[in-house]
Amino acid sequence: MEFKRSPCPVANTLELIGDKWTLLVIRDLLRGKRTYGELLASPERIPTNLLAERLKRLERAGLLTSVAYQERPVRRAYALTPGGEALGDVLQALARWGEAHIPGTQRLA
Amino acid sequence: MEFKRSPCPVANTLELIGDKWTLLVIRDLLRGKRTYGELLASPERIPTNLLAERLKRLERAGLLTSVAYQERPVRRAYALTPGGEALGDVLQALARWGEAHIPGTQRLA
């Protein structure tokens, strides 16, 4: 396999998901959000063009799948694949660090 | 406490460290690298201006400290604080995901 920069599993994972918005989209899908509108409505207010781009990128990477649940206009529902769901461990580690080291943070209800 | 976007501990952790280069610098400090030159020499080849900016940002956030170990020219040695070291759990989760889901990755020697 050709790697962009190194064979390091951290570096290659970060090439796929190493930006803030991608990890927040994965957080929301892990919490059961399914539609574009639900993902847009999170308190961090991801810009709509970034959400569309991140969803396409995650689907190409095999971390989520989408199905059309409505035609005209087409609306799609998104779900993590088993590989995407396995990122739950990364999200848990991020949440635990934030709770321990950034005063006042609290997990979303 | 005022939060930029939400009180979510994931979102606020990502505001501090949620970009690829920052997490690779933390990986390297966890592995015992100490000097600017050592950090520049990693296989991912962080650009020198980004390395300088990330080190300053991490120091302002209280995740690392630096001390001058040479004058003229000044050279600084960097070390994670306990808060920075606690990010080891996040790095471990990223490494484990990469090893399980990206064929051919291997941890740096």
pLDDT digits (tens, 9 = 90+) for A40-71: 999 999 999 999 999 999 999 999 999 999 99
Of A74, A82, A109, A94, which is closest to residue A22 (Cα–Cα)? Answer: A94
Q: Which residues of chain A have pLDDT under 70?
A: 1-2
Does the beta carbon of A68 lie under 8 angstroms from any beta carbon of chain B? Answer: no
* The predicted structure's pLDDT at residue A108: 83
Measured CA to CA, the distance from residue B9 to residue A13 in angstroms comes to 21
* The predicted structure's pLDDT at residue A2: 65
Does the beta carbon of B47 lie under 8 angstroms from any beta carbon of chain A? Answer: no
Q: What pLDDT, in 10s, does the model give residues B40-92?
A: 999 999 999 999 999 999 999 999 999 999 999 999 999 999 999 999 999 99
Is the predicted pLDDT of residue B2 greater than 70, yes or no?
A: no
3-state secondary structure of A78: strand
Measured CA to CA, the distance from residue A31 to residue A28 in angstroms comes to 5
* DSSP annotation of B19: B
* The predicted structure's pLDDT at residue A109: 78
* The predicted structure's pLDDT at residue B3: 78
Is the predicted pLDDT of residue B109 greater than 80, yes or no?
A: no
State how far residue A69 is from chain B, nearest Cα, in angstroms. 29
Q: How many CB pairs under 8 A join A and B?
A: 156
A105: alpha, beta or left, given left = phi > 0 and alpha = psi -120 to 50? beta
The reply to whether residue A24 touches residue B11, judged by beta carbons under 8 angstroms, is: yes
Beta-strand ranges (E) seen in chain A are 64-70, 75-80
Residue B93: alpha-carbon gap to chain centroid? 15
Report CA Rg, chain A: 15
Specify the CATH number for A9-101; select among 1.20.120.1810, 1.10.10.10, 3.30.360.10, 3.30.559.10: 1.10.10.10
* DSSP annotation of B72: T
Does the beta carbon of A27 lie under 8 angstroms from any beta carbon of chain B? Answer: yes
State percent of chain B over pLDDT 90: 88
